[in-house]
Chains A and B, each alone.
Chain A
């Protein structure tokens, strides 16, 4: 079955430091992959997506992610974290049939 694993439940990063959030997927074909962000009390907002082509994709708010087929990974990165980036981050895979399966999320905490 298709699945998404986010191995880190929470991560703390100092403001201004770089960030990498891990995501591994299990899917037989070429996946459609997504990263969403959820601020407290809010819905989910799309950060970026990968469908095909260039394996390094750029998103909003200075985020990027790299698709690595050999590692079944789609890690999210940001070179310099801002305090406003503190939120819950979800990786997701489109399993076909118009269904997104989400990972369990990684909570990002930003320290001063």
Chain B
């Protein structure tokens, strides 16, 4: 059973297009994240949702719009793709603050490699 799953794993598209990446976790966690990993492997948080509510939004262009239909899903939609959006996007989840101390341990998906041509 895959705990945090992302689709698609690879995505190649043209500049200006709109694309979405989906994420689902079956761990029963309250909090989900999107991280971006650039070509130098640097990992930067983009968004975080807790029980479908946005709690972290890190100066990401508004072309990026996360959506959480329920606490097990966090999707990322990107409008008007640019060359600089090429990266690996990781979804992650954590148990969250509800129900006890949250230590911040993240469980990651395998990543979605986005290439913008």
- Contact yes or no, B108 A99, CB < 8 A: no
- Complex interface residues of chain A between 36 and 65 (CB less than 8 A to chain B): 36, 38, 41-46, 49, 51
Given contacts A94-B103, A97-B56, A105-B42, contact A42 B48 (CB under 8 A): no
The verdict on A15 contacting chain B, using a C-beta distance below 8 Å, is: no
User: Count of chain A residues with Cβ under 8 Å from any Cβ of B?
Assistant: 24
Closest 6 pairs (CB-CB, A-B): A94-B104, A43-B108, A102-B43, A43-B110, A44-B108, A105-B41
* Interchain CA distance A102-B114 in the complex, whole Å: 21
Q: Which of B60-68, B76-84, B89-97 participates in binding chain A?
A: B89-97
* Interchain CA distance A104-B41 in the complex, whole Å: 7
Q: Which residue of B lies closest to A88 (CB)?
A: B41
* Interchain CA distance A13-B96 in the complex, whole Å: 38
A residues adjacent to B (C-beta < 8 A) = 32, 34, 36, 38, 41-46, 49, 51, 88, 90, 94, 97-102, 104-105, 107
B residues adjacent to A (C-beta < 8 A) = 4, 31, 40-45, 48, 50, 55-56, 90, 92, 94, 96-97, 102-111
- Contact yes or no, A98 B42, CB < 8 A: no
CB distance from A73 to the nearest CB of B (A): 19
Residues of chain B within 8 A of A36, CB atoms compared: 108
Residues of chain B within 8 A of A46, CB atoms compared: 105-107
CB distance from B76 to the nearest CB of A (A): 15
